[in-house]
Structures are given as C-alpha cells and as structure tokens.
Amino acid sequence: MSKPSVYITTSDQPVLITEDGSVAGGSDSVKQFSFDHVFDQSYETCELYDKCLRGDLKQDALAGVNATVFAYGQTGTGKTHTMLGDGKLAGIIQMVSRDVLAAAQQHTSTVQVEASYIQLTTRHITDLLAEDAHEVGNLRIRENEAGEVTVERMTKHAVHTEEDVLDLVRRGSARRKTASTKLNVASSRSHAVLTLHVTVINAEGDGDEGDVATFSKINLVDLAGSERVKDSGVEGEHLREACGINLSLFHLAGVVQALIQGNAQVPYKNDLLCYLLKDALGGNCKTTLVATVSPAQLHAQESRSTLQFAASCSLVRNHAGVNTTVLQRERPWAAQAGTAKMSSKPKEAKKVPWHGVTPGGENCPGGRVDLETSLGLVSCLVYGSRELPLVLCLHGHPSTAEDSYGHWLMAALVHSGFLVVAMDMPGQGGSGTKKHCNGGQPLKTRRHVERIVAFHPSYNETQKDELKQVGASTLLIWCTADQFHSWPAWKGNAKKLQNSLGPRLYEEFIFKETAYGKHSWSLHTTAIERCVVRFLTGTDPVAEPSSVHARPLEAEAATDGTTVVRRDNIVMASQAAGLDRHIFQMRDAAREAASTFIDAFEAGKLPALYAAFVSGGSGCLKQEAARLFGSLPCLMSKDDVDCSLLVDLGLWSSMPNGWHAMQQTPRYYVGRRVLVRAPVCPRPNDPAFMALESERCSESGGRGQNQAEYTTFRAVISGFDPIRGGVDVDVECSDETCRTMRVDRAELLRLNQPHQLPIGPNGEVRLEDGIVLKKGSSLARAKFCEMALALRSVAESLDFDASPEECERLQCEAVAAIRGCLDLNTFQRDDRNRLVANGERFRDRDRYCGDDAARFAVHGQGHCHTVSSVMAVFLSAWQKALGIDLKYRGGFAFSDESAEVSDSPEHHQWLEFMTRPSCSMFTCDLYREDGPAGTGALLHQPIEQAYRKSLYPHGQLPVLSGFPVMIAASCASDFADSTC
C-alpha cells in the first residue's frame, strides 16, 4: 500500500496533479513528499493521536522502550497547539499522560512515573519545574558509559494522574520564553521537552540481587519554530533569539543528514538540542515526528523546508531496545553502617571523629540534672564543660530528651566544643510543670540566639509573615518521607525563611528515605550530625590529611644539564597523598576583590579610578578600574545590602549590636509623632501653622466644617482601636490644647510607612527623570563597597540596645557619610563647584551622566529631582542595615513671606527618614544643603524644624518617571498593640 503524499509548489500559480500522481507539465516548482500519515486542517489532534501513537506508545513505555514525539515546523503553524492543546482541546502531552498513567494503574507490577520539564535556548538549559525560577539554570547534559544521555540537576516530580502532569505543564509553561511576532501572537522562543520517566518493578531477583525493573523515557518535545526574519518582523533581543532558533534547527538538520549518509562522526554535540535528542535520532528510541506546515502560499518556502526535513527524518533508522536494571536491596549491614543513599547529599564515606563515643562516657561527660525555672522544675540531660558555648536541644510532643537525643547528636556536639542541654520539655518526662511549650517556638526567637537548627519544626505562623521576623542563621532539616511532618505542607514556610534570611543566613538539608517505614531517618544520622556541626562551627568535622602547604616539587635535570625544580599544577590523585588539600581549594575571588578595593580606598585611589572608569578613553588606570570594579561582588540581597556579606568580605568587622532585636521593634506606639491629614492652618507666618484652629474646629473630633485638609506633623498617636482597626491621634490646636482624631489605619500607613522605590521589568530601580540604577553594574557595586567602608566605623559603634539619642546621632552620621560618597552637586554650582551668584543656574557638561544613577554618584549634577533620586536609591539599600525607614517626599518649599502652602503644584522634592527604635523623623534635603543655606544640618534636620520653617509635604505617593512608589507592607510587630 502506497504512502499518502503531500504536494507543494513555491510558485504562486495553479499546478495540476494527474491521476497517476505526476505533475502535469512537469513544473520544477512542485515537490512531492510521502509520509506514513497526512492530516489536513479538518482533523483534530485526538485523531492524529489515535491513528499514530495511542496503541504502541503506552505499551512500549511499560515494556521499557524509549519513545520520543516532537513537533517541527515554522512559527505559527500549530506545534505548541498540537503538543500542549489550548485548554479546551487536549494536546498530545495530555493524551500520552492519560494513557500511560491509566495503564500504570492497571499494571500487575509496581509502576513509578515521574515527570521533568526543561527549556532549551541557544546556550542554556533551564529547569522549568525548579522550586525557584532562578534556582536551577544552565543545566548540563551528560552521557554515561552506556551511552544514555541525561541532564544534571534536573528535577523530577512523581505523577499519579493526568491532572498532576497538567499542573506541572502549566507551571513550566508560565516560565517558558514566548514573544509576539507577526506570525504568532505567542511564539515560543525556546525548545521545551517534557519527559515521563517510567519504571516498572516487575520481577524478583535471586540471592543477593534485587528487584528487576524496566525503565523508559517518553520525550514530548515542542520545538521552537523556524522563521524568516522578514516575515516575523522581530528585532532586538527577539531577533537574536530567532537567529539562535534557526541555528539550532540547522544543526538538527545536519545531524539527520549525517545519519542518512552513514557518517562515522555525527555532530550531536554541536547543539544542546541535538545532544539531548541523541537517543531519538539514530539511537535507542522509537521516534515520531509531527511536521506542521502552513497552507498559506506566502509561507510555501518554509513549508517546503519543513517537509524536506520530515522526509529526511523518515530515512533515519533507530535501534530501540528494552532497558532493564536491577534495583539493589536494602542490606542490614549497610543500614548499620549508616551509608544509605540520599537524593540530596552524597553518601558519607568517612567515619566521623565522635564515632563510638557514648554520652556519659569519658569523652562525653555529663548526665541528668534538674533545674528550677520560672516554669517550675525542668529535667535536662547536660553534657560537656560549663565554660563552652551553649547548645539548647528542644523537642516536640510527646517525647523526652532521651527519646529525642539520647541516641545521637550529643556526642557530636560535645566533640565539637559545645555545652549541650537537652530538656524534657515542660509537661514531659521528668519536668514537673504541666505547662506545655512548643519545640518549634525557637523559630520566633528574637534575641540571644545566634543560630537555629530546625529539624521537622512543629511551628505554624499565628500572624501573617511572622517567620520574616526570624533574624538568626537557620538550618532547616527535613526528611520528605516523614508521614507525621508533611514537607509539602511546610515548604511554603521554608521558602519564606529562605527569602527573608537570604543565602548566607539560610541553609537546608532535605533528604529522602525510600524505606522510611522500616528505618525512619536513622540511616541518615551521621550525615545529619555532620551537617549540624558544619553549620554551627563553619568547619567540616571529617578531618583532611594534614601536611605541607605546597604543591609537589621535584628536582629534574634540564636539557643543558642544569638542575631545575618542576612545579606541578596538574596533580593526579595518586600523587595527592600527603598534600594539604587547601592548596587545591578555589580562590575566594570576591574576598580578594574586596581586599584590593579596601587597599584602594585607604590609599585614596578611588577618585582617580572612578574618573578613569567613566572617561571615554583608554589606558592602564581605566583597565585597572574595570578589572577591580567588575570583580567586586554585588552586596545586595534583593532590595537591601546583606550585612552578613559585609562581614564575610571584611568590609565590616561586625554587624551593629542588637540589630536583630531592632528589626522587631514597633513602628507605631502611643506617643509617637506621625503625619496625618487634618484641617490645619496653612499659613507659615501664623503661629498656629499646621495646628488646628480652635475656633473653627468641630466639637465632634477635630475636623472642621468644609475646610481643606493639609498634611501636618503636629500629631501624636494616643491610642488604638482593636475592634475597628482605627488609630486615635492627638492633633495640636492653636490654643496649645489637643483634639483627638480617629485615623484609618490604612491612611496612617500611607503617610508614615517606609517607601519602596519602583523596580523595572529587568530588576533595575526606576527613579525620577528617567534615571535608573542597575544594582549589578560595575559602578554600582563599587559605590556600594565604598559606602560600606565609609560606614564601617558607624557600624562598629552603632548599638541598638544603647540610648536612643546615641543611636539617632550615629544614624544621622551614617546618612551624612552616604551623602559624602556621592560626587553629586546641583545646578547652583559652577564647573569649579562654587556657588553661582544671584541664584542663577549653571550646567557643568563634564557632569552629564545620561540616565545612569551610578554615573551620577561618581560625577553628576542635577536639580532637586535628580539629587533626591540618586540619594534615595543608595540610601534605601542601607536602611535595613542602619535601622532607618526612608520616604521619598514631594511638596512645597516656602519662606517666611509665603502666603499659604498648597498640595499642588509640587515645587520641591526631598527625602524623609525615621530612625529605629526611637522613631524620630528627619528630613534630608540635598538640594537646599548644596545651596547657600547648607551647613550639613539639612541632611538630617528634625521634621519639627523642617516642616515648621521651610518644607511642606503634600503626602502623596510619588510617581517616578511613570512608575509609582509603593509603601512597604506592614506586619504585626509594627504596632505596639498587637491586637490593632
């Protein structure tokens, strides 16, 4: 039976096909292609699937035979629709998943099905199912000794139903790169591969052998479409993507041609897609190609190329076979040795130094002790010397110290130099009191705790974002198979901790145990102990062989007979015995760069390096600056400078004392001054300026009848309404009395909560006048490092547990230090940085910086919008570290002669900041400070002075270059009355 054919002509004129299939007139523009099946636009995907795939694919998958289905064609011809469907009509992926999982459930043997979903661009492979969009990127392809191609670090997710697969597809597709072109409003800009990994445990081995299993992979591939750039109309980044896609498909065609021609070398490794599909093209796999073409004559050339490729693929011969393996059985002696394999960590090959040590013995002295506490009598296991740092071991219910820690961890901690106290929690064991305590509560600790190890923490937030208040370094340990502690249910809390603490303060050790019902997590005890000790001490307890700090040296004779010393940089494993492994450790490039920068800062070289870096020429100094600035680490963790990184890099000697506790202090409490809107006097010359005018106040609570309201600073919180959520505020009156006003909580936050500067689509900070800061740029990294060094003495002196007045002084000093790092003046100064006479304006062309905030910080000039924006973006990064809340203010600058302030139009911009924990508020006005009135005090002027004598804030949230400033989210600890 002959195969169905497709005819295509690239000439825009009718062509006749005769009854015998020949072309009348023998036109050269017509090409005939034959395929196993042909479907026109009247067919649905389900018909294609039923006729071509349904029967063989699910049977082969359960029999251990690999399969691949991929769609190939021009952009906009329906590849993604064919593979993924459209939400109403199922695609091939959904149909395959449905049939394979249904067959797996009916199978007489144990069947495990997992799914992975990856994206391939020109040079990168991305895991579309990674827990975090940035966690797993740039994956690598590896080929094992058997020739099987795998992707390193690719996540696999167990699936049991069709809906499980669809959920993963929806998650992954949301991250997949797409773009709108003239050919397709949602054009795929990457190749996507969903793989079902099927394992069938179908027989029992004999003797020491384990279960026999077959395994297979079903690759379901949605290729990015080929396109002619003049047809798709793409440009810029999308043009580069189109070129990369076409190049990838070109390499794919090259692989097919090499296979057809029988070449000894097939160029699979020329492209990531070709390498990944090595099994599908000439290897151990059954492969189906779905070629999608457009019926439009406009795209006839592209359609012909697609059909030509498909016809070539039909000539490739694969060699599919059954994949089998033997699953190793659990052995009792392996369990006793504690060497069970874990998915997240390599097996522990070496004995730990506390191996064989028993709590209470000579090397771990101690025993049970009863302690009198505020909770009553508490019984504890205490091991180690009283002079050592304390580790307090808590547990959940129902349990005792012996049950939780008697068989592990104690010896490890004592060996590592700690005093260990494991409590019978109140109400448990030997502790007499009946008052219960939750073992998960240390996660809420605020002071006196440096590090937290949380193993299956029995803790849930009682208030929104409570976990964001955790400040101590935290190690989270979890066995995902534990049936009493659900990892999926707690994973959201783990993500909150990770996002709040950042990579330097948060670690996790998540492991699986397939035989949990038999062993619990006991097979991983040694690995957990080692992880805990490493976290608490910063040192791996498994000792490396100690020897000399030198590379291998050997005396040899040179060609002229003289003696030379050979220094080997390539050292084979057989030569490494006796060498100190420190010589093989990678250099800490970030710390080295920071050290070099510190030297330049202390030598006064930074101004010259900055000038050389921003100059248009070249030279040795410019190259030195580019190397140094480019090698510096980014100090930012999300929107704030990472204090722990400053210490790690040597930029700071320590974090400010009491910093973690300060983060939990309230922002709003009775007696705190706040801004509110009220019908106050708007005339600066009037002694009642910004106060309520007594004779015009209503008796019902301070709001006047039909009076305009203004933003006043003459208000103090007097109480909270826990039921309605309002806040009572006492506003000063002209007769020196106060009237109480009820202010909505949302309105109070709008006027007083710290501001968040707008972030652009690429992570850049958006500012006024089109200025942006790219936090990862070389200049920005250098400026942040310079500021860190300028703030070093402040950070060493700043003690949030000391008097509020001393904290305020240092915090204001820090604001001035950050301003001192900005080589930025205003149009009030000439090219020699002198004040211009008679209030004239001057533009220094040498200070032109375009829209780069980092350039402005190096050598810039501007009006109040510009200088406030540049100061705001750098100061905002330090507000968490320094304990200040920043707000970007706009409003009215006035003199004593002004008749009346107004909310509009806006005449001036400045910054306002509040110090914590005192909640005193100050203005920071760079423009006026740079003018004739500047003495240094205007960088941190109390608002009682600034808003009484020269500035009026209209209270509206600014919009910077079309991007709105937002207020920071509040949390329960912001209010002294937690019920409010």
Judge whether residue 351 has pLDDT over 80. Answer: no
**Nearby residues of 481 by Cβ (< 8 Å), 6 or more positions away:** 512, 513, 514, 516
Whole-angstrom Cα distance, residue 347 to residue 524?
A: 9
Q: In Å, how far from its chain's centre is CA 854?
A: 24
Please enumerate, by residue number, every residue annotated as part of a binding site for ATP. 73-80
Please, which pLDDT band fits residue 596 given cuts at 50, 70 and 90? Answer: very high
Residue 861 — very low, low, confident or very high, per pLDDT cuts 50/70/90?
very high
Lowest-confidence segment of 124-138, 735-749, 897-911, 930-944 by average pLDDT: 124-138
**Between the CA of residue 979 and those of 464, 730, 975, what are the distances in Å?**
13, 20, 8
Q: For position 136, what pLDDT does the model report?
A: 56
pLDDT of 550 > 60? The answer is no
User: Is the pLDDT assigned to residue 81 strictly greater than 60?
Assistant: yes
Tokens of 615: 């100059």
pLDDT at position 265 over 90: no
Question: What is residue 363's predicted lDDT score, i.e. its pLDDT?
Answer: 85
DSSP state of 86: -
- How many angstroms separate the CA atoms of 815 and 922, rounded? 11
Q: Which of 44-53, 600-609, 782-791 has the lowest mean pLDDT?
A: 44-53
Residues contacting residue 794 through CB under 8 Å, at least 6 positions apart? 810, 813, 814, 817, 882
Residue 538's pLDDT is what? 79
The pLDDT of residue 765 is 95
Write down the pLDDT at residue 790: 96
Q: How far apart are CA 468 and CA 242, in angstroms?
A: 43
pLDDT at 407: 81
More confident residue, 128 or 767: 767
pLDDT at 911: 97
Kindly report the number of other CB atoms within 10 A of residue 592's CB atom.
Answer: 12
pLDDT above 90: residue 176: no
pLDDT at 77: 84
Q: β-pairing, 286-292 with 727-732? A: unpaired
Query: For residue 181, what pLDDT is reported?
Result: 46
Closest by Cα among 337, 363, 359 to 422: 359
CA–CA–CA angle 904, 909, 913 (5° rounding): 120
What tens digit of pLDDT does each residue of 269-312 get?
A: 888 888 888 888 888 888 898 999 888 887 888 888 888 888 88
Measured between alpha carbons, how far is 712 from 908 in angstroms, rounded to an integer? 17
Question: What pLDDT shows up at residue 330?
Answer: 47
Helices assigned H by DSSP within 205-343: 229-232, 237-261, 272-276, 300-313, 332-336
pLDDT band, very low/low/confident/very high, at 780 (cuts 50, 70, 90): very high
pLDDT in tens, 867-895: 999 999 999 999 999 999 999 999 989 87
- Assess whether pLDDT exceeds 80 at residue 566: no
Mean pLDDT value across residues 175-197: 64
Check residues 525 and 207 and name the one with the higher pLDDT: 525
Cα angle 847-594-451, degrees, rounded to a multiple of 5? 125
Which among 634, 640, 344, 635 is positioned nearest to 468, based on CA atoms?
Answer: 640
What pLDDT band is residue 854 in, cutting at 50, 70 and 90?
very high
Question: What confidence score (pLDDT) does residue 707 get?
Answer: 79
Q: Which of 28-32, 439-443, 687-691, 962-966 has the lowest mean pLDDT?
A: 439-443
How confident is the model over 18-46, as a mean pLDDT? 78
Partners of 380 in the β-ladder? 369, 423
Contact of 38 with 297, CB cutoff 8 Å: no
What does the alpha-carbon distance between residue 798 and residue 793 come to, in Å, rounded to a whole number? Answer: 9
Mean pLDDT, to the nearest integer, of 806-825?
96
Question: In sequence order, what DSSP letters do the residues of 455-489 get, joined into one string?
Answer: ES-----SSTTGGGG--SEEEEEEETT-SSS-HHH
Taking the model in full, what pTM does it have? 0.53
Higher pLDDT, 746 or 977: 746
Q: For position 766, what pLDDT does the model report?
A: 95
β-bridge pairing 473-479 and 451-455: parallel
| pLDDT attached to residue 600 | 94
Give binding residues as ranges: 73-80
Average model confidence (pLDDT) across the chain: 82
pLDDT in the model for residue 759 = 93
Q: Which long-range contacts (CB under 8 A, 24 or more apart) does 857-860 make?
A: 857/779, 857/783, 857/821, 857/822, 857/823, 857/824, 858/610, 858/613, 858/614, 858/779, 858/783, 858/823, 859/610, 859/611, 859/614, 859/823, 860/822, 860/823, 860/824, 860/825
Percent of the chain with pLDDT over 70: 81
Is the CB of residue 445 less than 8 Å from the CB of residue 664? no
Helix (H) or strand (E) holding 200: strand 191-203
